[in-house]
């Protein structure tokens, strides 16, 4: 269920995948956000219903705490400012008030003001690891977009898509069979990538063993992890994102 719920991230706006897809294919980000909203909500409702049915059939343990209207109101009050961010982003984009780039800038400034001035969960020292992480992720995404754009331009100049489409239609003719073939090659390509990402049989990643024969995992476990403290728990400086939570006292 956790793995299947991961599909919600690329669908529910604001989605980074949708923005990247729209930038590469020159599609309207506003239209993509509007088109993904209802399917994302339906998928979420369907998964929630499935979880409820499975929990009832398998007699999963229940939370004994009773959610009273007062508790709900307090939780909603603590999370209200955080829940407003998607409203600001989607409302601005779908309403035609701001562009997706402007909405991103507004949401960043909004989050900084809320976290520093209201919730006070962030410190100035937390900005550097957050910016470094954002820089690494943005660099990877922009590099992929750049390479995809170059490849798309080259293939378009060589008329490769038109050539392949004509060959498939002339030799197969059945649109459903063509769709199955395309999906098979896409699935096979992803499986090949996963296989190359792993280590060969019998091989270990660099640094998995030390000269004394102990694995690096056991050494990290013995010392409480590479970035943890001596008690085996992560140190607070390694968790700058853990404190970003609208409901205080839950972390």
Q: Return d(Cα 106, Cα 109) in angstroms, integer.
A: 5
Q: Which of residues 210 and 167 earns the better pLDDT score?
A: 167
Q: Hunting for tokens 């990290």 — which residue is that?
A: 220
What tens digit of pLDDT does each residue of 40-50 get? 889 889 988 98
pLDDT band, residue 1 (cuts 50/70/90): low
* Structure tokens belonging to residue 70: 């007062």
In the DSSP assignment, the letter for residue 247 is: S
| Entry pTM | 0.54
Q: How far is CA 166 from CA 9, 169, 172, 178, 180, in A?
A: 35, 5, 10, 12, 17
* Structure tokens belonging to residue 200: 């060969």
- Determine the pLDDT at residue 192: 59
Residue 82 scores a pLDDT above 80: yes
Query: What is the secondary structure of 5-59 as a DSSP string?
Result: HTTHHHHSSS-HHHHHHHHHHT--HHHHHHHHHHHHHHHHHHHHHHHHHHHHHTT
Q: Which of 115-119, 182-186, 214-218 has the lowest mean pLDDT?
A: 214-218
Share of the chain above pLDDT 90, in %: 6
Q: Hunting for tokens 């792993």 — which residue is that?
A: 198
Q: Which of residues 235 and 106 earns the better pLDDT score?
A: 106
Q: Hunting for tokens 């969960």 — which residue is that?
A: 121
What tens digit of pLDDT does each residue of 187-235 get? 876 665 555 544 444 444 444 444 444 444 443 444 444 444 444 444 4
- SS3 labels along 35-50: HHHHHHHHHHHHHHHH
């Amino acid at each position: 269920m956790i793995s299947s719920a991961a599909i919600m991230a690329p669908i529910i706006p604001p989605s980074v995948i949708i923005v990247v897809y729209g930038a590469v294919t020159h599609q309207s980000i506003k239209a993509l956000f509007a088109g993904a909203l209802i399917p994302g909500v339906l998928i979420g409702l369907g998964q929630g219903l499935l979880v409820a049915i499975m929990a009832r059939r398998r007699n999963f343990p229940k939370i004994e705490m009773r959610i009273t209207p007062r508790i709900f109101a307090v939780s909603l009050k603590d999370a209200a400012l955080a829940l407003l961010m998607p409203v600001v982003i989607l409302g601005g984009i779908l309403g035609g008030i701001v562009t997706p780039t402007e909405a991103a800038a507004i949401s960043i400034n909004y989050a900084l003001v809320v976290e520093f001035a209201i919730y006070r969960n962030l410190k100035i020292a937390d900005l550097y690891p957050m910016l470094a992480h954002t820089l690494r992720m943005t660099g990877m995404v922009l590099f992929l977009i750049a390479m995809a754009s170059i490849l798309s331009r080259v293939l378009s100049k060589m008329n490769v898509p038109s050539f392949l489409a004509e060959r498939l239609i002339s030799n197969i003719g059945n649109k459903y069979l063509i769709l199955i073939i395309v999906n098979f090659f896409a699935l096979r390509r992803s499986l090949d990538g996963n296989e190359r990402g792993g280590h060969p049989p019998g091989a270990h990643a660099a640094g998995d063993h030390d000269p004394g024969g102990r694995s690096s995992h056991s050494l990290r476990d013995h010392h409480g992890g590479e970035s943890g403290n001596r008690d085996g728990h992560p140190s607070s400086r390694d968790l700058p994102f853990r404190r970003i939570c609208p409901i205080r006292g839950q972390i």
